[in-house]
Amino acid sequence: MELTLWTYEGPPHVGAMRIATSMEGVHYVLHAPQGDTYADLLFTMIERRDRRPPVTYTTFQARDLGGDTAEMVKTSVRDAYERFKPQVMLVGESCTAELIQDQPGSLAKGMSLPIPIVSLELPAYSKKENWGASETLYHLVRTLLLPFVLPPNTQRPKRDPHIRPKANIIGPTALGFRCRDDIREVVKLLAEIGVDVNVIAPMGATPDDLMRIPDADFNICLYPEIALTTCTWLTRSFAQPIIKTVPIGVGATRDFITEIGRVADIDVSEALQRSQSDTLGNWDASRISSPANPQASRLPWYSRSVDSTYLTGKRVFIFGDATHALAAARIATEELGFTLVGIGTYSREFAREVREVAKKHGLEAVISDDYLAVEAKVTEAAPELVLGTQMERHIAKRLGIPCAVISAPIHVQDVPARYSPQMGWEGANVIFDSWVHPLMMGLEEHLIGMFREDFEFAEGHMSHLHAAPSQEIRRDLPREMGISEQAIASAGVSNQAVLTPIQVAQEVSGITWSADGEAELKKIPFFVRGKIKRNTEKFASDRGITSITVETLYEAKAAIGK
Amino acid sequence: MALEPCTEVPNQIKTDIPILKERGQREVFCGLTGIVWLHRKMQDAFFLVVGSRTCAHLVQSAAGVMIFAEPRFGTAILGERDLAGLADANEELDRIVDQLLERRPDIGTLFLVGSCPSEVIKLDLAKASERLNQRFFPKVRILNYSGSGIETTFTQGEDACLGSMVPVLPNSYDEPSLMIVGSLADVVEDQFQRLFEKLGIGPVYFFPPRRASKLPPVGKGTKLLLAQPFLSDTVRSLIARGATLLPSPYPFGIEGTTAWLKTAADAWHIDSSQFEQAIAPSVNRAKIALERYRQTLAGRKAFLFPDSQLEIPLARFLSRECGMELVEVGTPYIDRLLMESEINLLPVGTALSEGQDVEKQLDRCRQAKPDITVCGLGLANPLEAEGMATKWSIELVFSPIHGYDQAADLAELFARPLERRRRLTV
């Protein structure tokens, strides 16, 4: 057993649902107890879809367990086929059904329906959501394309240079982080360099579309957590190369274009050049009024402008799925000038890549799906900004640290109505705004550092968010989940629950502070105080000092720096 | 001048309504969902689900939109080692509870909540809580109940939770008292408390209490008045401890609230003029407030999908007090002991259904083209996209809807989707 307060991923059958729901013409019969239909809400509420997910549940109850649950599977498969007439059917189990072992996949295959049946074996007690999605996509594509696999070592005929190269975009799914807008942005990028899109899958694809996958010259593996298994199989079976760079961030987008140029053998130098030269200013009248101008990101200029100087060296902790965490680490350090003080992922399959990046920054990566372990690491690192998932928002609230969401798991507020990609040029614009927003504005930071007794702009206050940091998140409590205003008001924020970094540090260390030392410490600006306290205590313990005075504090500061 | 009766205690209309019983796919929540409101009602309690990642995912999908500095629920996720019997489940559970209580020394009551996987593998949580109690009581009390989907539907989770507390309620030594059973919004509790004081009924205890450590007493003198219609097991356990049930319609709307209070007043032998006098200001106020929404709702057709067992009392309110026409009233489960007085108030010819085959029910719903469809969130947006106005039913469990001063608010919940459709031009 494992104690879990929050889980980063759902069970694997939710991953399978994400594939089925992303597509058209695919139906999923899920052997599951009554109540597991909650998963429909992920799509109808969090993602606000206007249709029910194409999922039929057997919803067995306790009284059915004595009877023939296998018969319930058959009835559900038959009814679902009759009613929805899908082109392909997925059949699988949820965690409870896995225990009673009715073999629904084989049962369905034995019913001789006139469509392909994909039997899903998703071990719910050892695997999770992304794995489930990846596996489902792989088996679906494999089932449909297996008869057309090329003989081993077949070379693809060389593309006629007069025909534009064609690419598949593999990986975007329902409930993925910003997939909807990422695709649009990537399609725009491809158009700019003269690449056509063959199939986008699974999002929006039909089984017929999947059949056309081999027509493309190469595959863009946009979300490796979902798509890498499938792309690798396609490379083996149809000799289609994979584009592995994920275009999140300005630098990564440039690399993405370069990689496509190399793989597709096309000239992309113009697009790359523009991405360099077009990033300054942007206030010129001709550029604002010309709709013909291709997009370029404003991030480079915004980040270079003097207003951003105070962002230099801000201590940031990054956690999420591997793809988004890796991208965020590069943007944070190379494009925004932050200092990386922690990085981790819950995607164990991509742990190696994350470890490499961590090592480059002298850190040890947090590879864990244990919320409590992540919380401990964030506490220890005492960052000034957390870039994470919906779960890190809980951690950040507890510690009173600003936070922005960069990866699934997400909630309704991260499926916005406005265009908000993470990828490509516009994605970088979105990222600049959303990561900088939770931080204290420069002037306010200076003034709170200088004058500490203001009656309005107190410790940790961030007036551009209209509230203190630990409070600000409360504004986000949406009504969607039906929490009444009274409930919100009466719940409040428990003051004991929100620990400042100082309190956390005090709980950890055993060293005492003299009264004057502690008073001086309180004059250090809020967000860096935790780190300074830790540095000072380390300095003291290294030198055998047991009581920290004002002098010790400044000696430590001089020795270690900020 | 003698006061005229403000309202009549409702007459019985029809006792024998045929009920359509259906079986098929059920689009409902499991009992674990009860945690979403119970953790707020009893702030010193923690809910530890023993189940799979699916269970953890369910609870956080429902409640995780709120940002918690200190979560008040969690899941002990079963792994392959637990299923293969490689790890001793009891030792594992002890370890998890140790870990949890170390992190959260403020927890006063810990509920071990059973799930489908733990029920199927027959993990004995009752024994486990007994054993853990021996270690932690009195600092922490450990209780257990099942919120599994195979056994409980949505609000039945609250029934199971309250039911688990019944054996540990203190004994009242037969002193006469009134116990209001079922989670109520704090503001509603206070209103009812004031009304009972005015009527001279007391002492009044609310169950569940706001603190799990402050449990109400129960005994031969305890009279039970149910605020919620889904508490079958809790009521039966309370009766087994000597309490008497006062059967009554539920306090939704003016009529329901009056009938509910009257039931208590009669048991306390309050004479009718005192009763009328006590409720008159609230009733008059409520009538004025309700009239506004009655005009919107009267003559409109309502279709209720099964969800919480609140459907029958709500349908009664919608039809008798708001003038709505009932197309179909679906409910997951009907307990005659608790529902008789409500069913009797439904208009002749009401189509009642128990259980669900969701596709067929959707077909009936589409065909009937109701003006408002009360359904769960899995169906609401898809039906809206088909052009049907919906009221998502879960909100009815999360909102203050009981009593006189909420009668108009309750009607407003149903009028709001219609008003919204009137306003929007896009």
CA pair distance A482, A487, nearest whole angstrom = 10
State the average pLDDT over residues A514-541. Answer: 83
- pLDDT tens-digit profile of A270-284? 999 888 876 666 566
pLDDT digits (tens, 9 = 90+) for B221-278: 999 999 999 999 999 999 999 999 999 999 999 999 999 999 999 999 999 999 999 9
Point out the least confidently predicted range of A41-55, B22-36, B56-70, B142-156.
B56-70
Single out the residue of A14, A1, A9 nearest to residue A368, CA to CA.
A9
A526 has pLDDT over 80: no
What strand order describes the sheet that includes B109-114?
A2-4, B73-77, B45-51, B109-114, B141-146
Amino acid identity of residue B54, one-letter, is: T
Straight-line distance from the first to the last Cα atom of chain A, in angstroms, rounded to the nearest whole number: 42
Considering only CB atoms, A1 lies closest to which of B67, B78, B385, namely B78
pLDDT at A106 over 70: yes
In this prediction, residue A282 carries a pLDDT of 57
Chain A 359-378, residues with CB within 8 Å of chain B CB atoms: 372
Answer yes or no: is pLDDT of B396 > 80. Answer: yes
Contacting residues for A216 by C-beta, under 8 A, at least 6 apart = A166, A167, A168, A198, A199, A240
Q: Does the CB of A497 have a partner CB in chain B at under 8 Å? A: yes
Cβ-Cβ contacts under 8 Å for A19 (sequence gap 6 or more) = A26, A90, A133, A136, A137, A140, A173, A202
Shortest distance between the Cα of B66 and any Cα of chain A, in A, equals: 6
pLDDT of residue A516: 87
pLDDT in tens, A258-274: 999 999 999 999 999 88
Instruction: Exactly one of A267, A307, A476, A516 is catalytic; name it.
Output: A307
A484 close to B410: Cβ distance less than 8 angstroms: no
Mention every residue, 6+ apart, whose C-beta is less than 8 A from residue A510. Answer: none
Residue A45: CB atoms within 10 A of its CB come to: 22
Tell me the two tokens of residue A382.
């005492």
At residue A524, the pLDDT reads: 79
Yes or no, beta carbons of A486 and B400 under 8 Å apart? yes
CB hemisphere CA count around A546 (13 angstroms): 0
Q: Is A116 exposed, middle or buried (0-12, 13-18, 19+ CB in 10 A)?
A: middle
CA of B40 vs chain A CAs: smallest distance (Å): 7
pLDDT in tens, A343-391: 999 999 999 999 999 999 999 999 999 999 999 999 999 999 999 999 9
For residue A217, give the amino acid letter: D
Name the pLDDT band for B1 (thresholds 50, 70, 90): very low
What is the spatial distance between Cα A304 and Cα A15, in angstroms, rounded to a whole number? 40
The distance of A487 to chain B (nearest Cα, Å) reads 8
Mean pLDDT of B75-89: 88
Q: In the Cβ-directed half-sphere of B396, how many Cα atoms lie within 13 Å? A: 30
- Looking at chain B, the whole-number percentage of residues with pLDDT higher than 90 is 84
- pLDDT over 90 (residue A126): yes
Residue in chain B nearest A29 by alpha carbon? B25
Angle between helices A526-542 and A550-560 (to 10 degrees): 90
| Active-site residue, A215 included | no
pLDDT at residue A483 in the model: 36
Residue A469 has pLDDT above 70, yes or no: no
Average pLDDT (A121-145) is: 97
What's the confidence (pLDDT) of residue A446?
A: 67
* Measured distance between the N- and C-terminal CA atoms of chain B, rounded to whole angstroms: 56
CB burial of A19-40 (b: ≥16 within 10 Å; e: otherwise) equals bbbbbebbbbbbbbbbbbbbbb
Phi, psi dihedral angles at A370 (to 5 degrees): -95, 110
